[in-house]
Amino acid sequence: MKNNLRVERARVRMTQQELADKTGVTRQTIVAIEQGKFNPSTVLALKMARVFGIKIEALFELEDTD
Amino acid sequence: MKKYRLLDHKWQKIGFAVFISGVVLSLIYLFEIVFTFTPTQFGGIVEDYKLGLFNKIMQGPLPLLSFISAIAFALMSLSQEKQEDERIVETRHQILPRIVILFIIVLTIRFIAGSILIRLAEPLSYAIITRIIGLFTDVTAFMGYYVLFFKLSLWKQNRELSDEE
């Protein structure tokens, strides 16, 4: 699964720690999601989309291999 | 969202403190036995002395360590991390099948080693070695393996993920 988390975070000038605090996870979990090493749950993905004020489809995208 | 009912993080610290206390207490008990047990109590017969000492250790410090460790490992494995999130929960889930595989491997080694030792080793050596192997293959040991594997896995993950910003 591809994600635009890093791009969206840069757009709103938010650090990984700030995003982690707003979504109730650790900073390492944000890093893991950005690196594509961990796929978030639907709830966490929705929380992230809400933080950036965008739709979940704009943040996460299915790849052909998924 | 489904929540996992784990104990508060402070119980993990309490579990660790209980384990360290158990190790210290068992060592004190062990030294007390070793220094008060003398061959003269067995008429100078070395084999009887060794067997007596072995039995005394098996009946005293080891069950004490085993009991305290069981409580400590249970507390440590059933309590959550400082900030338990879904990545950590997934790590817990990934560890369990590995522990099952380890359990099967260790039990197989125990069976093979036991079969070989019973033919080759002297009865006293066999008793000592099988009891020591038994310590590493009981339920308490597997709770310890779970705690160890989980902590190592989390530490490795966090180290890999901590540099980037």
pLDDT in tens, A37-55: 999 999 999 999 999 999 9
- CA–CA separation, B152 and B3 (whole Å): 24
What is the nearest CA distance from B87 to chain A, expressed in angstroms? 6
- pLDDT band for position B164 (50/70/90)? low
B135 pLDDT band, cuts 50/70/90, is confident
pLDDT, average across residues B37-42: 76
The answer to whether residue B157 neighbours chain A at the CB level (below 8 Å) is yes
Query: Residue B165: its pLDDT value, please?
Result: 61
pLDDT at A24: 94
Angle between the N-to-C axes of helices B61-77 and B10-36, in degrees from 0 to 180, rounded to the nearest 10: 170
Decide: B55 and B94 in contact? Cβ < 8 Å.
Answer: no
Average pLDDT over residues A54-58: 93
Q: Over the range A17-41, which residues count as b (16 or more CB within 10 Å of their CB) and which as e?
A: eebbeebebbbbbbbbbbeeebbbe
Domains of chain A and CATH, by start: 2-56 (1.10.260.40)
Q: What is the mean pLDDT of residues B15-44?
A: 89
The pLDDT score that the predictor gives to residue B4 is 63
Whether A29 sits inside 8 A of B87 (CB atoms) is: yes
What pLDDT is recorded for position B2?
Answer: 57
Residue in B86, B90, B162 closest to A28 by CB: B162
- What is the arithmetic mean of pLDDT over B19-44? 87
Closest CA to B71 of B25, B16, B8: B16
Task: List phi, psi (to 5°) of B6.
Answer: -115, 160
B83 closest CB neighbour out of A16, A26, A41: A26
B164, A31: Cβ pair inside 8 Å?
Answer: yes
Residue B121 φ/ψ, nearest 5 degrees: -85, 160
Number of Cβ within 10 Å of residue B70's Cβ equals 17
Residues B43-75 pLDDT 10s: 777 778 888 888 888 888 988 999 999 999 999
pLDDT of residue B64: 92
Cβ–Cβ contact A37 with B under 8 A: yes
Mean pLDDT of B77-98: 93
**Interface predicted TM-score (ipTM) of this complex, two decimals:** 0.86
B41 falls in which pLDDT band (50, 70, 90)?
confident
How much of chain A, in percent, has pLDDT values that exceed 90? 86
Q: Model-level pTM? A: 0.82
- pLDDT value for B154: 93
Cβ–Cβ below 8 Å for B161 and A25:
no
Tell me what pLDDT residue A19 has: 96
Give the pLDDT band of residue A59 (cuts 50, 70, 90): very high
